[in-house]
């Protein structure tokens, strides 16, 4: 690394993934910038720039002399019920920022060595019977898959603005700071943990530290550009995940499964997030030399439980 600290700009940096990644990058000597709507609560050591994609506003200085752009912008999938308006908001919160980035870089004639764009493992067709989804497969059907497909199509517009372009399809991120895990823990805390539906649906997941590590690995080592799955190499379904979580929390796991019809009654189409899933392969990122710190639930969940405080 040269005496001049490389600059990494993160859109959506104030979110759960962005903050964890920012801390890792800072610890490695990178200079980190955020492009965020709310500039009031930065991570210590991060330089903050404002933008508002819905108004086509951006401080373009955030993109100058940058080594890597990491795009994490997007509204939370599970934050609100999936009304037609909310679905539109979820999609536009992903595609509109990308369009603004592409516009500003073209107007300013900016080229960035590396661009890494987030996507999600929801891209794939749920219910795969045999084998695991690899990066070369076609997208599935349904809202999640359609959203991921359009998200990635928008991201490809940035390829002309960089030398190395990557898309990272992220599984369920396990973190104590937000996301799915704190919600999953609630019934287990009272000894009421159980499988959801038939429990056979795959749950591709990744520890937050390994996800941050994959982003760092891509920008440091520049493997072959393209799409990479960001999921742990173990293959787990909802039932095995529930058993592992109960064990890590030292709680029983004997309750009958929650019926699929009840989840659909309570959550509507959002229930698809927990009732549908397919195994996703981590082989491509492994082949680049990336080593997972938390390759299975027996490593990941006890560490997260121990670090909750």
Residue 223 lies in a domain: yes
pLDDT, mean of residues 222-251: 96
Given this model, what pLDDT does residue 38 score? Answer: 83
pLDDT at 1 over 60: no
- Confidence at 131, pLDDT banded by 50, 70, 90: confident
Given this model, what pLDDT does residue 20 score? Answer: 97
Residue 226 lies in a domain: yes
Residue 155 lies in a domain: yes
Q: Which domain holds residue 103?
A: 7-174+206-232+279-294
Q: pLDDT tens for residues 268-299?
A: 888 888 888 889 999 999 999 999 999 999 99
pLDDT, mean of residues 250-254: 94
Nearest-angstrom CA–CA distance, 244 and 224: 35
Given this model, what pLDDT does residue 116 score? Answer: 98
Backbone angles phi, psi at 229, to 5 degrees: -75, 135
Q: What pTM does this model have?
A: 0.94
Residue 189 lies in a domain: no
Taking alpha carbons only, the member of 118, 106, 218 closest to residue 158 is 106
Residue 25 lies in a domain: yes
Residue 252 lies in a domain: no
Given this model, what pLDDT does residue 276 score? Answer: 84
Torsion, Cα of 264, 270, 272, 273 (10° steps): -130
Q: pLDDT tens for residues 36-50?
A: 998 777 889 999 999
pLDDT, mean of residues 75-89: 91
pLDDT at 229 over 50: yes
Q: Which residue has the higher pLDDT, 130 or 121?
A: 121
Q: Which two tokens stand for residue 272?
A: 């698809």
Residue 135 lies in a domain: yes
Of the chain, the percentage scoring pLDDT greater than 90 comes to 82
Q: Which residue has the higher pLDDT, 15 or 128?
A: 15
Nearest-angstrom CA–CA distance, 301 and 183: 14
Given this model, what pLDDT does residue 129 score? Answer: 61
Q: Angle at CA 29, nearest 5°, toward 12 and 291?
A: 75
Of the chain, the percentage scoring pLDDT greater than 70 comes to 97
pLDDT, mean of residues 80-101: 95
Residue listed under structure tokens 């990744």 = 206
Q: pLDDT tens for residues 174-197?
A: 999 999 999 999 999 999 999 999
The count of domains in the chain is: 1
pLDDT, mean of residues 301-309: 91
Q: Which two tokens stand for residue 292?
A: 């997972």
CATH code of the domain covering residue 86? 3.40.50.720
Q: pLDDT tens for residues 8-37?
A: 999 999 999 999 999 999 999 999 999 999
Is residue 218 within 8 A of residue 289, CB to CB? The reply is no
Residue 117 lies in a domain: yes
């Amino acid at each position: 690394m040269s005496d001049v600290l490389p600059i990494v700009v993160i859109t959506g940096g104030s979110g759960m993934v962005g903050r964890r990644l920012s801390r890792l990058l800072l610890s490695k000597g990178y200079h980190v910038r955020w492009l965020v709507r709310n500039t009031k609560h930065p991570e210590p050591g991060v330089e903050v720039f404002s933008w508002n994609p819905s108004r086509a506003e951006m401080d373009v200085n955030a993109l100058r002399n940058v080594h890597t752009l990491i795009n994490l912008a997007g509204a939370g999938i599970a934050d609100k019920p999936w009304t037609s308006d909310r679905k539109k908001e979820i999609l536009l919160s992903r595609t509109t920022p990308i369009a603004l980035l592409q516009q500003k870089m073209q107007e300013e004639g900016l080229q960035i060595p590396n661009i890494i764009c987030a996507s999600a493992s929801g891209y794939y067709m749920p219910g795969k019977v045999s084998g695991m989804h690899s990066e070369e497969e076609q997208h599935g059907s349904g809202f999640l898959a359609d959203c991921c497909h359009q998200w990635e199509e928008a991201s490809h517009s940035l390829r002309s603005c960089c030398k190395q372009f990557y898309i990272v399809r992220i599984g369920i991120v396990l973190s104590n700071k937000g996301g799915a895990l704190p919600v999953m823990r609630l019934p287990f805390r009272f000894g009421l943990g159980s499988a959801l539906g038939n429990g056979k649906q795959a749950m591709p997941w990744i520890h937050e530290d390994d996800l941050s590590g994959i982003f760092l690995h891509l920008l440091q080592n520049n493997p072959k550009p393209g799409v990479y799955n960001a999921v742990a190499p173990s293959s787990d379904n909802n039932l095995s995940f529930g058993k592992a979580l109960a064990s890590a929390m030292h709680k029983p796991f004997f309750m009958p499964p929650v019926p699929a019809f009840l989840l659909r009654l309570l959550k509507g189409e959002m229930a698809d997030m927990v009732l549908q899933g397919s195994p996703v392969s981590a082989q491509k990122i492994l082949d680049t030399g990336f080593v997972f710190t938390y390759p299975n639930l027996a490593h990941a969940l006890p560490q997260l439980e121990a670090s909750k405080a």
